[in-house]
Amino acid sequence: MKAYIDPPKKMPFYIRLGVYAAKKATGKDLLPPRLLAWYPKAAISSGVLEALVAHGHKKDELDPRMLQLIRVQVSVLTACPFCVDMNGHHHEKNGITTEELQGLTGVLDLDLIPTLTEREKLAIRYTQLLTQTPVEISDALMAQVKALFSAREIVIIATTAAQVNYWARLIRGLGVPPAGFMDN
């Protein structure tokens, strides 16, 4: 399976550095950074976006489990196999169960999964609304979100969902095949 276009044969040095950094971070020689070399401004801005997203390692961020649940949910909703592979990779490391993954894919009702906390279920619902078109969030749901999350956490949820939406639409638009993490 190939993308719709091939990467350029030559890349500027600074883009090659970005490709190297992506490979070092993921352990895979990823196609998206190579394709973005056709437009270096997009490659740089995408790299900056990726470098600055929340990873849950700071005390004032959401935990890695919550962030991965959000990323996987957006990946599924945007029907991006590459994103599902990337964001679902090592789900067990963050304590995400097969049953929870089935909830994110719609196979199981999220409300019937006892291992998901109320905060996680609400973050997932909010993420679902952020990912649909048009984005429509009721005052009642937003009141629930504000009751369980700080303003900073709400921004982290929204930016995490937006970041995965960005990648999903870019990757789908370029025809990038799955990364293959789920096969390993």
Kindly provide the b/e burial profile for residues 5-19, where b requires at least 16 CB atoms within 10 angstroms of the residue's own CB.
Answer: eebeeebeeebeebb
Peptide bond before residue 134 is cis, with ω within 30 degrees of 0:
yes
Let me know: does 13 contact 41? Beta carbons within 8 Å: no
Select from 48, 128, 55 the least CA-distant residue to 87.
55
Over residues 145-172, the pLDDT tens digits come to 999 999 999 999 999 999 999 999 999 9
How far, in Å, CA of 93 to CA of 89, rounded? 9
Q: What is the value of pTM for the model shown?
A: 0.91
At the second CATH level, the architecture of 64-174 is Up-down Bundle (1.20)
pLDDT of residue 1: 66
Over residues 13-65, the pLDDT tens digits come to 999 999 999 899 888 889 999 999 999 999 999 999 988 888 777 777 899 99
How far, in Å, CA of 120 to CA of 140, rounded? 17
Mean pLDDT of the 2-6 span = 93
Annotated domain spans of the chain: 1-52, 64-174
pLDDT at residue 182 is higher than 70: no
